[in-house]
């Protein structure tokens, strides 16, 4: 069955993607194709060694390394990195890492319009979107701007093979969340639906193989392929309840990003399935079950994913406040979000119970 719709508006970003084991060794060629010759390489402190290896491998094309990328993209770090980029006369940015490092590259590009090459080492998918989330004075805000969209992505399965299994699982569920919500997005179109289903399929097929053998490069490649597709749809259509709820929990209670997504996803999907079971049917089908929410719950459990918000340190007393904040500013969702239903959802996610 095709995903044809009689009316739609679709948009795709002009992004160049280079994919394959060892593809990272072609980064010098990608710098040259951008017409650049002074790259600033970015990473987290934990991945500074990888950043240094890139600097060495591109030789004189590296103008500097900045290894202070931090979760939630604090504005002060972005401003410091921007100052450094200007000081060394950088003419392109290379972000090597997960969503936090990609976020720093985007924040510098937003301020300088420098072209970006992103080399992802998780499945977060930020490299494929024009969205920048940043924090200032404890508040996380997001913006969408063409300057933020990276021009080049290099996906190398060898780099993601070092991601510990627990992070691999939560990062994969985080990526699948983009595609799951894209299936019922208001702006969904035949292309975003096809990309979502293919991305979900890639994760469902490859994740058991990755968990069994984290060094399996074929399986790692298939999951990275899934991350690209799921990230691409995140850049094409708007998200709803699941992403808003994770944003609230992450921002207000400082819960870790990927773990929170992994736990909330089956519950948010089960909540919306009441209204849009037909739109979620391809997800249920990919997972071989009748209910998408139940199927995601079983899939997450089979991968030994974290299942309960209480295990992330959230207090039961905080659930009322979380429900208040998450219903304060109305947003579009396929099923109207009322406080009582959301509070019940949060209770189940907190306990690690089956979704309803």
Footprint on this chain of ligand NAD (rule: CB under 6 A):
44, 46-47, 71-72, 97-101, 103, 121-122, 124-126, 129, 131-133, 159-160, 162-163, 171, 234, 257-258
Closer to ligand NAD by Cβ: residue 97 or 115:
97
What is the closest distance, in whole angstroms, from the C-beta atom of residue 311 to ligand NAD in the complex?
Answer: 18
Closer to ligand NAD by Cβ: residue 288 or 313:
313
Closest to 268 (Cα-Cα) out of 260, 316, 154: 260
How far are the Cα atoms of 20, 22, 31, 39, 296 from residue 154, in angstroms, in the given order?
8, 10, 12, 15, 29
* Nearest residue to ligand NAD on Cβ basis: 99
Closest to 106 (Cα-Cα) out of 84, 131, 124, 88: 131
Closer to ligand NAD by Cβ: residue 188 or 348:
188
Closer to ligand NAD by Cβ: residue 36 or 177:
177
Alpha helices in the chain (DSSP H): 27-33, 48-58, 75-87, 99-112, 157-160, 165-182, 190-212, 217-236, 241-253, 257-286, 292-302, 318-328, 339-351
Closer to ligand NAD by Cβ: residue 61 or 105:
105
What is the closest distance, in whole angstroms, from the C-beta atom of residue 201 to ligand NAD in the complex?
Answer: 20
What is the closest distance, in whole angstroms, from the C-beta atom of residue 353 to ligand NAD in the complex?
Answer: 25
What is the closest distance, in whole angstroms, from the C-beta atom of residue 43 to ligand NAD in the complex?
Answer: 7
Closer to ligand NAD by Cβ: residue 153 or 160:
160
Which token pair is 265?
């996803």
Q: For residues 210 and 157, is the Cβ–Cβ distance under 8 A?
A: no
What is the closest distance, in whole angstroms, from the C-beta atom of residue 5 to ligand NAD in the complex?
Answer: 25
Which token pair is 174?
């985080």
What is the closest distance, in whole angstroms, from the C-beta atom of residue 173 to ligand NAD in the complex?
Answer: 11
């Amino acid at each position: 069955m095709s995903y044809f719709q009689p009316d739609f508006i679709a948009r795709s970003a002009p992004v160049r993607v280079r994919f394959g084991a060892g593809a990272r060794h072609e980064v010098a060629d990608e710098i040259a194709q951008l017409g650049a010759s002074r790259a600033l390489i970015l990473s987290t402190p934990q991945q500074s060694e990888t950043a240094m290896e890139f600097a060495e491998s591109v030789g004189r094309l590296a103008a500097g390394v900045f290894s202070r990328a931090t979760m939630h993209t604090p504005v002060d770090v972005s401003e410091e990195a921007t100052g450094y980029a200007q000081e060394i006369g950088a003419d392109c940015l290379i972000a090597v890492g997960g969503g936090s490092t990609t976020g720093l590259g985007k924040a510098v590009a937003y301020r300088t319009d420098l072209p970006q090459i992103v080399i992802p080492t998780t499945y977060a998918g930020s490299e494929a979107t024009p969205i920048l989330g940043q924090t200032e004075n404890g508040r996380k805000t997001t913006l969408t701007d063409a300057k933020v969209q990276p021009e080049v992505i290099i996906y190398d399965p060898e780099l993601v093979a070092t991601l510990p299994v627990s992070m691999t699982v939560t990062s994969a569920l985080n990526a699948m969340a983009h595609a799951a919500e894209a299936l019922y997005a208001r702006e969904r179109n035949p292309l975003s639906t096809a990309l979502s289903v293919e991305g979900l399929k890639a994760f469902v097929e490859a994740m058991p193989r990755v968990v069994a053998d984290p060094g399996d490069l074929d399986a790692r490649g298939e999951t990275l392929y899934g991350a690209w597709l799921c990230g691409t749809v995140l850049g094409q259509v708007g998200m709803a309840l699941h992403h808003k709820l994770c944003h609230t929990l992450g921002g207000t209670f400082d819960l870790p990003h990927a773990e929170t997504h992994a736990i909330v996803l089956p519950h948010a999907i089960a909540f919306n399935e009441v209204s849009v079971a037909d739109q979620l049917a391809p997800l249920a089908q990919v997972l071989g079950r009748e209910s998408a929410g139940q199927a995601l719950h079983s899939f997450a459990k089979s991968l030994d994913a974290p299942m309960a918000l209480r295990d992330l340190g959230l207090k039961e007393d905080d659930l009322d406040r979380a429900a208040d904040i998450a219903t304060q500013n109305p947003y579009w969702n396929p099923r109207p979000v009322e406080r009582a239903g959301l509070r019940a959802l949060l209770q189940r996610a907190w306990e690690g119970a089956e979704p309803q």
